[in-house]
């Protein structure tokens, strides 16, 4: 028997997870180098792993280590949470995933590279990018006319009616200042002007017309022309980036600081130069065709058939130059900087929008996947990734946050102390969130903090029988979260940024949430069964445990999980319920979303004690109780002799 079979501090787990869910990347910055979805709390997985420690003193959450000599497998590693937490505790770890992005991120963030080397390589890389691209991002201060770099450009969405073209924005209010003044965009002249607290306007910036006369600007809520009464129609026959007209340039002058100004002729000339260069870029358009899927179908419905069309000409120039500069770099430096450029695309596409109009907003950019889906802005934002200051979405800001802060933290990880008064973080002496990569299972038999990565389907693992101490993972979320589908936005670029770093020809149909399959429940059950069966084979039968987190409202998800676990020969030993989601997160806010995960602890059926679970009479509807009742029903069904059809019916009746 292991401690986790009977002990888990749910109260502590809930309190610390509630804090972490607000800003997970601040708690574990080293595992957030690249965008990935549906990450679980690192604190929860640290607690899980601590309950696998045999030495009682080392089980304390704030005690270092405790898993030296153990081998931990995560066959569906995603963001890599299990591997990062286990390697900190001294374990040797194995991570497997079908998608190459998790492989690259874990390799980059766990490999030990001197921080000075990373910083020096980045500075050279950044300087070379600026030499090539600064002229395309140049503008002038509207007050003193001094040349400077733009921070971002705001665009209006082009539509038309019988009267002609019109432009649409989220709001004609651009910014509300702390002194009570408001920056506004004039709907006829396209000028930027300010309004004081008494409603008086002034300070218009000069603008130059792209067309004559200027198209009127409306807020996005206007659907019909006030003159001809016709409905405004989007211009879906144009590439996505060309559907927008530049309206406002935002920049920074050393003398006059942050400024907003209307687009002038010099700004338009810079855009025309970039557009002329676009046609000369060495991108093969067929290689960037939109991959089919339920999320990417949102692009197709908008007439977008190619990922290249999601980027402005300046953004494509940035990518082309970055690809060239990366190729000669040493492997690990190239890997880190390539992932940095890739993750910067979330803040540097024409799917980004502006969130700076409200007073004292924390940043200017609503990034591409703010809603865990593709969204199409009325007011698009073209960011300058090479802007000197550490502002939202720039390379400088991302390098500091994703690489520098992450690597500094990795050398001395810190954990949050529960306190009502202060946000106190304490270092865990002796722990390091880094290790040595090996290429064969035999290399895991000795030493500590070694990691083995395997890209491919976990239905077949190149591991001996009874070879891993524990399996700790977080399975795909049935059919509701399309990680692989959304990740195609990054993969098409990573193939060019890091062509030799992964297998880019993998078969997406091996994914448990394969977007091409119509019978998703059947496919999910089939692949989870094979993954769990392979887990049963490689798991040490003496004291081995399969542990993972799970929640779902859908009875099909629970039924699929039940059938997969039973077919693989696992039984539930214990279950705990912990806080898992921030209720104000954009993608779940005001939705009937579960906020808790079940932590499920399972053993091979031959080691299980039968009769441990009783069928719950009803399933509660509140998040925590619902998750607990579902986990209890799962335990009972795994012990039952019910048929597959009966199991599906029981879940339908229980959750309807």
Mark whether 147 and 101 lie in a shared domain: no
DSSP assignment of 411-454: HS-EEE---SS---EEE-TT--S-BEEESSGGGGSSSSSEEEEE
Sign of CA dihedral 425, 431, 437, 442: negative
Domain limits at 142? 118-393
Structure tokens at 550: 């799970």
Mark whether 220 and 97 lie in a shared domain: no
* Average pLDDT over the chain, rounded to an integer: 92
pLDDT at 202 (0 to 100): 66
Element (H, E) at 650: helix 644-655
pLDDT tens sequence across 399-429: 999 999 999 999 999 999 988 777 789 999 9
Characterize 290-308 residue by residue with b for buried, 16 or more Cβ atoms within 10 angstroms of its Cβ, and e for exposed.
Answer: bbebbbbeebeeeebebbb
Q: Give a yes or no: residue 425 inside a domain.
A: no
Structure tokens at 472: 């700790």
Q: Give a yes or no: residue 406 inside a domain.
A: no
pLDDT at 593 (0 to 100): 75
pLDDT at 589 (0 to 100): 44
Contact 33, 7 (CB under 8 A): no
- What are the angstrom distances between the C-alpha of 416 and each of 420, 484, 529? 12, 32, 37
pLDDT at 74 (0 to 100): 98
In 3D space, the residue among 597, 647, 576, 600 whose CA is nearest the CA of residue 477 turns out to be: 597
Q: Give a yes or no: residue 427 inside a domain.
A: no
C-alpha to C-alpha distance for 563 and 334, rounded to whole angstroms: 43
Mark whether 334 and 267 lie in a shared domain: yes
Residue whose tokens read 């965008």: 35
Mark whether 92 and 178 lie in a shared domain: no
Mark whether 177 and 312 lie in a shared domain: yes
pLDDT at 298 (0 to 100): 92
Task: Name the domain boundary from 393, 428, 447.
Answer: 393
Contact residues for 637 (Cβ-Cβ < 8 A; gap 6+): 562, 566, 647, 650
Phi-psi region of 78 (alpha: psi -120 to 50; beta: other; left: phi over 0): left
Mark whether 103 and 126 lie in a shared domain: no
Pinpoint the alpha helices (H) of 51-114.
81-88, 100-110
Mark whether 179 and 302 lie in a shared domain: yes
Which residues on adjacent β-strands are paired with residue 164? 161
Contact residues for 567 (Cβ-Cβ < 8 A; gap 6+): 529, 532, 533
Angle between helices 483-497 and 313-326 (to 10 degrees): 60
- The number of residues in the chain equals 656
Structure tokens at 610: 């039968």
Q: Give a yes or no: residue 8 inside a domain.
A: yes
Pairing verdict, β 436-438 and 450-455: parallel
Element (H, E) at 534: helix 520-538
Rg (CA), the chain: 27
Mark whether 280 and 352 lie in a shared domain: yes
pTM of the model: 0.93
pLDDT at 213 (0 to 100): 81
> Domain holding 594: CATH number?
3.40.50.150
Counting Cβ atoms within 10 Å, is residue 384 exposed (0-12), middle (13-18) or buried (19+)?
buried
- Count the Cβ atoms, other than its own, within 10 Å of residue 363: 13
Q: How many domains does the chain have?
A: 2
Mark whether 65 and 138 lie in a shared domain: no
pLDDT at 519 (0 to 100): 45
Q: First CA to last CA across the chain, in angstroms?
A: 36
Please tell me what DSSP assigns to residue 224.
Answer: B
Sign of CA dihedral 443, 446, 447, 452: positive
Please tell me what DSSP assigns to residue 184.
Answer: E
Mark whether 536 and 626 lie in a shared domain: yes
Please tell me what DSSP assigns to residue 404.
Answer: I
Task: Name the domain boundary from 362, 393, 424.
Answer: 393
Question: Mean pLDDT of successive 10-residue segments in the chain (656 residues)?
Answer: 95 94 89 91 97 96 97 96 98 96 97 96 98 97 96 97 96 86 93 82 57 87 96 96 97 94 96 96 96 88 96 98 98 98 97 81 81 91 96 96 96 91 88 98 97 96 98 80 81 97 80 50 86 98 95 92 97 96 55 84 90 92 95 97 96 93
Mark whether 480 and 546 lie in a shared domain: yes
Counting Cβ atoms within 10 Å, is residue 416 exposed (0-12), middle (13-18) or buried (19+)?
middle
Structure tokens at 526: 């089939």
Task: Name the domain boundary from 393, 428, 450.
Answer: 393
H helices, E strands: number in the chain: 17, 24
Structure tokens at 557: 């998800």
pLDDT tens sequence across 354-404: 987 766 665 679 999 988 889 999 999 999 999 999 999 999 999 999 999
Q: Give a yes or no: residue 639 inside a domain.
A: yes
Strands across the sheet with 201-202, in order? 173-176, 182-185, 192-195, 201-202
pLDDT at 587 (0 to 100): 45
Q: Give a yes or no: residue 408 inside a domain.
A: no
C-alpha to C-alpha distance for 569 and 47, rounded to whole angstroms: 26
Contact 4, 71 (CB under 8 A): no
C-alpha to C-alpha distance for 558 and 343, rounded to whole angstroms: 33
pLDDT at 356 (0 to 100): 78
Residue 337, classed as helix, strand or coil, is: helix
Which residues on adjacent β-strands are paired with residue 603? 571
Mark whether 623 and 545 lie in a shared domain: yes
- Count the Cβ atoms, other than its own, within 10 Å of residue 5: 14
pLDDT at 105 (0 to 100): 97
């Amino acid at each position: 028997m292991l401690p986790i079979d009977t002990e888990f501090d749910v109260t502590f787990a809930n309190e610390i997870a509630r804090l972490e869910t607000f800003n997970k990347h601040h708690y574990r910055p080293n595992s957030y180098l690249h965008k990935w979805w549906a990450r679980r709390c690192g604190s929860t997985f640290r607690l899980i792993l601590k309950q696998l420690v045999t030495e009682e003193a080392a089980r304390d959450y704030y005690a270092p280590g405790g898993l030296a000599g153990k081998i931990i497998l995560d066959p569906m590693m995603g963001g890599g949470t299990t591997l990062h937490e286990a390697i900190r505790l001294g374990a040797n770890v194995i991570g497997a995933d079908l998608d190459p992005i998790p492989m690259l991120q874990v390799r980059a963030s766990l490999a030990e590279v001197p921080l000075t080397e990373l910083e020096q390589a980045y500075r050279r890389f950044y300087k070379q990018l600026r030499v090539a691209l600064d002229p395309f991002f140049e503008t002038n201060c509207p007050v003193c006319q001094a040349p400077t770099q733009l921070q971002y450009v705001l665009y209006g969405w082009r539509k038309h009616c019988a009267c002609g073209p019109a432009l649409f924005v989220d709001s004609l209010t651009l910014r509300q200042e702390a002194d009570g003044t408001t920056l506004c965009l004039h709907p006829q002249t396209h000028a930027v002007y300010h309004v004081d607290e008494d409603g008086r306007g002034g300070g218009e910036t000069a603008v130059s017309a792209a067309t004559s006369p200027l198209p009127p600007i409306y807020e996005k809520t206007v659907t019909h022309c006030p003159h001809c009464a016709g409905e405004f129609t989007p211009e879906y026959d144009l590439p996505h980036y060309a559907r927008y007209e530049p309206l406002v340039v935002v920049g920074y002058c050393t003398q006059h600081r942050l400024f907003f100004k209307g687009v002038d002729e010099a700004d338009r000339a810079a855009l025309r130069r970039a557009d002329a260069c676009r046609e000369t870029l060495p991108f093969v358009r067929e290689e960037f065709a939109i991959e089919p899927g339920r999320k990417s179908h949102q692009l197709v419905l908008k007439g977008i058939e190619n990922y290249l069309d999601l980027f402005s000409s300046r953004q494509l120039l940035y990518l082309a130059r970055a690809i060239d500069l990366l190729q000669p770099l040493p492997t690990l430096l190239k890997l880190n900087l390539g992932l940095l450029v890739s993750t910067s695309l979330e803040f540097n596409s024409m799917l980004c929008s502006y969130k700076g109009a409200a007073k004292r907003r924390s940043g200017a950019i609503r990034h591409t996947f703010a809603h865990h889906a593709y969204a199409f802005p009325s007011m698009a934002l073209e960011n300058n990734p090479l802007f000197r200051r550490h502002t939202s979405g720039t390379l400088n800001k991302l390098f500091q946050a994703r690489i520098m802060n992450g690597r500094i933290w990795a050398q001395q990880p810190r954990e949050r102390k529960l306190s009502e008064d202060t946000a106190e973080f304490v270092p865990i002496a002796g722990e390091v969130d880094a290790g040595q990569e090996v290429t064969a299972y035999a290399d895991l038999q000795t030493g500590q903090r070694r990691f083995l990565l395997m890209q491919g389907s976990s239905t077949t693992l190149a591991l001996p029988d009874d070879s891993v101490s524990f399996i700790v993972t977080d399975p795909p979320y049935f059919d509701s979260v399309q990680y692989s589908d959304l990740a195609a936005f990054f993969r098409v670029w990573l193939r060019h940024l890091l062509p030799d770093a992964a297998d880019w020809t993998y078969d997406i149909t091996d994914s448990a949430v394969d977007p091409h399959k119509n019978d998703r429940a059947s496919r999910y059950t089939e692949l989870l069964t094979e993954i769990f069966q392979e887990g049963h084979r490689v798991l040490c039968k003496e004291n081995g445990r399969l542990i993972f987190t799970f929640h779902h409202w859908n009875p099909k998800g629970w039924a699929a999980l039940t059938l997969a676990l039973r077919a693989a020969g696992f039984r539930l030993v214990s279950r705990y319920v912990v806080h898992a989601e921030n209720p104000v997160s954009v993608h779940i806010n005001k939705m009937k979303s579960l906020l808790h995960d079940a932590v499920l602890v399972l053993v091979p059926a031959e080691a299980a004690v039968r009769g441990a679970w009783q069928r719950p009479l009803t399933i509660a509807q509140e998040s925590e109780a619902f998750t607990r009742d579902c986990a209890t029903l799962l335990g009972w069904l795994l012990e039952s002799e019910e048929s597959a059809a009966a199991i599906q019916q029981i879940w339908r009746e229980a959750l309807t």
